[in-house]
């Protein structure tokens, strides 16, 4: 399968958009954000509305962005990815050479899956999970004292922690009675200690998540937790579950109660709808709730295939990001969910976006000629309004913003105060911030002058449910890969993570030499020995 690998600045529409960017739409002009514009500048799909009237665009820019999507072959590449093309590669250079099939995990609802083998494997693992969870629910799978398991500890890092953790926190309102989920990710021993001290280990299951079965931080934390079980007189093999690659060192029935498989064609940061997230979410929320997450994600995957960007929120959000980043020159993007339940979702997007698109080499192995992935950050509103919004409104850096909101609260517990509910106050603040950033305010007092023309978009859905959470996750996954296709970079490897791991292992070898031999060998790698000494990790006699 071949596809267009032309760089962004080589596409025919590039010069047109660059020219339009020299005089972008003025959001502060009288009547600029009219009721008609607000009504028209709206894209809908799979339960989400994307409102983008507060972006610095007009119809000419929208038409140019449509041409950009078409000329880059973004949709064709998305179809190729779902069908099993080897997208994780760099032409002419050694690379991972893998398919990218995270969408196959939720393609189970379609009569004709895009990739039959991958979807079949996903269904096989789901059947294993369904049986496992049924054993817990029916009291057939209990601890050695015949008691039900009440707690689950997820040990993983990166994509094995951030996405699943964000989803669990988002959907904690739907958690099963007498089921709690905890997370250990940081190799900092205090992370594990803080979780372990509040658990009844005899009633706890531990899911260890590592595709290779060799992730240093994860295996270190696993051994800390195993030691705690042994210290409590418990057999870890009756409590530990492996979520790993088939035939990895962790695929060992002597050490684990059960194994669930993850596959090379699903990258860690795209793995939340695979067994990486499924086992933990199934325990905490129930099997049916996890299936709803998959259903929402699959529906958004289907909506992302729409060629008209006005009917494809994921593609349009990707194109608006490129307009702001590559043509208007804004280096960061803030993702601000007006939902406390989504407090960890920006952290997941930091990894998913910046690990995917933080690249400076094209898929042809050449240096990129323009900007690729932006810096992604964010916190929930309205808390952020009392923290960093000052910079958003009046700082010298323009930060494009993506607001996320819901028309209804999750729990339905609310109070009418001064004529409005708390949820109405929350949504009103979201809408007001978007409008204020766009229009600004003139004032003779320079300290109270707001320049405006600070672009934003609003993603809205009715309620944060398992279904809409799946849709939101898939929307951002699609946005990220669309941008990577348009930038002609490989959004599916992470070589930048590897160098630090290599050097960390060198430092650990030095510390082992110190511990075993009582001295140092500074002839090899003297700079790392010197850094250890300067950091006060050891003192030379």
Interval 407-439: pLDDT, tens: 999 999 999 999 999 999 999 999 999 999 999
For the residues 75-89, what does the mean pLDDT come to? 97
Lowest mean pLDDT among 251-265, 345-359, 495-509: 495-509
Assigned domain for 344 exists: yes
Final residue belonging to a domain, choices 491, 506, 522: 491
| 256 & 335 share domain | no
Domain boundaries, position 500: 496-534
| 265 & 278 share domain | yes
Is the distance from CB of 532 to CB of 510 less than 8 angstroms? yes
| 125 & 251 share domain | yes
Assigned domain for 362 exists: yes
| 487 & 501 share domain | no
| 469 & 501 share domain | no
Q: Which residues are catalytic?
A: 355, 386, 501
Query: For the chain, what is the mean pLDDT?
Result: 95
| 486 & 520 share domain | no
* 309-322 confidence digits (pLDDT tens): 999 999 999 999 99
pLDDT > 70 fraction of the chain, expressed in percent and rounded: 98
Assigned domain for 47 exists: yes
| 192 & 339 share domain | no
Can you tell me the distance from the alpha carbon of 33 to that of 435, in angstroms, rounded to the nearest whole number? 9
pLDDT at residue number 4: 67
| 470 & 502 share domain | no
Can you tell me the distance from the alpha carbon of 41 to that of 39, in angstroms, rounded to the nearest whole number? 6
pLDDT at residue number 525: 83
In the structure encoding, which two tokens stand for residue 284, read together? Answer: 């905490």
Residue 198: band (very low, low, confident or very high) from pLDDT cuts 50, 70, 90: very high
Can you tell me the distance from the alpha carbon of 264 to that of 492, in angstroms, rounded to the nearest whole number? 11
For the residues 480-501, what does the mean pLDDT come to? 94
Assigned domain for 504 exists: yes
| 197 & 317 share domain | no
| 474 & 502 share domain | no
| 278 & 253 share domain | yes
Is the distance from CB of 503 to CB of 527 less than 8 angstroms? no
Specify the residue for token string 């658990």.
Answer: 199
Assigned domain for 405 exists: yes
Can you tell me the distance from the alpha carbon of 63 to that of 491, in angstroms, rounded to the nearest whole number? 26
Final residue belonging to a domain, choices 295, 327, 359: 295
| 166 & 270 share domain | yes
Assigned domain for 89 exists: no
Is the distance from CB of 162 to CB of 344 less than 8 angstroms? yes
Alpha-carbon dihedral 54, 58, 64, 69, rounded to 10 degrees: 30
Q: How many domains does the chain have?
A: 3
CATH number of residue 404's parent domain = 3.40.50.10490
Helix axes 74-83, 466-487, angle to 10 degrees: 120
Per DSSP, the three-state class of 253 is coil
For the residues 388-399, what does the mean pLDDT come to? 98
């Amino acid at each position: 399968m071949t596809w267009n690998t032309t760089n962004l600045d080589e596409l025919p529409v590039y010069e047109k958009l660059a020219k339009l960017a020299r005089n972008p739409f003025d959001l502060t002009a009288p009547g600029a954000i009219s009721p008609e514009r607000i009504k028209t500048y709206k894209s809908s799909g799979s339960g989400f509305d994307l409102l983008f009237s507060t972006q610095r665009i007009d119809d000419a820019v929208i038409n140019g962005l449509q041409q950009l999507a078409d000329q880059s072959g973004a949709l064709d590449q998305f179809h190729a990815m779902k069908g099993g093309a080897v997208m994780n590669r760099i032409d002419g250079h050694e690379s991972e050479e893998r398919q990218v099939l995270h969408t196959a995990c939720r393609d189970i609802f379609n009569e004709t899956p895009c990739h039959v083998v991958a979807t079949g494997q996903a269904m096989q693992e789901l059947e294993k999970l369904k049986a496992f969870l049924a054993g817990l629910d029916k009291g057939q799978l209990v601890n050695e004292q015949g008691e039900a398991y009440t707690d689950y500890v997820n040990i993983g890092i990166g994509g094995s922690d951030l996405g699943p953790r964000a989803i669990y926190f988002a959907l904690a309102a739907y958690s099963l009675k007498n089921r709690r989920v905890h997370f250990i990710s940081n190799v900092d021993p205090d992370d594990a200690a803080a979780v372990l001290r509040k658990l009844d280990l005899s009633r706890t299951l531990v899911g260890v998540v590592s595709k290779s079965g060799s992730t240093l931080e994860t295996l270190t934390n696993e051994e800390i937790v195993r030691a705690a079980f042994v210290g409590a007189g418990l057999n870890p093999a009756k409590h530990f579950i492996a979520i790993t690659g088939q035939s990895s060192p962790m695929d060992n029935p002597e050490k684990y109660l059960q194994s669930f498989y993850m596959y090379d064609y699903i990258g860690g940061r795209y793995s939340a709808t695979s067994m990486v997230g499924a086992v933990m979410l199934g325990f905490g929320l129930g099997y049916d709730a996890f299936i709803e997450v998959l259903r929402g994600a699959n529906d958004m995957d289907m909506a992302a295939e729409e060629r008209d960007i006005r009917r494809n929120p994921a593609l349009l959000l990707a194109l608006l990001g490129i307009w702001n980043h590559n043509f208007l020159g804004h280096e960061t993007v803030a993702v601000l969910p007006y939902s406390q339940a989504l407090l960890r979702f920006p952290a997941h997007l930091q990894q998913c976006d910046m690990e995917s698109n933080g690249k400076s080499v094209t898929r042809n192995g050449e240096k990129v000629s323009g900007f690729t992935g932006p810096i992604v950050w964010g916190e929930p509103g309205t808390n952020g309004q009392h923290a960093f919004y000052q910079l958003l409104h009046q700082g010298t850096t323009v930060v494009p913003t993506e607001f996320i909101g819901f028309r209804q609260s999750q729990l339905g517990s609310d109070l009418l105060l001064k004529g409005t509910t708390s949820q109405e106050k929350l949504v009103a603040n979201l809408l007001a911030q978007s409008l204020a950033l766009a229009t600004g305010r003139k004032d003779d007092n320079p300290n109270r002058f707001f320049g405006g023309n600070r672009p934003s978009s609003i993603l809205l859905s009715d309620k944060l449910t398992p279904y809409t959470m799946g849709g939101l996750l898939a929307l951002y996954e699609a946005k990220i890969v669309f941008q990577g296709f348009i930038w002609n970079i490989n959004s599916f490897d992470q070589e930048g993570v590897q160098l630090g791991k290599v050097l960390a292992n060198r430092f650990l070898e030095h510390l082992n030499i110190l511990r075993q031999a009582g001295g140092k060998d500074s002839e090899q790698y003297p700079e790392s020995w010197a850094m250890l000494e300067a950091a006060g990790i050891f003192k030379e006699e």
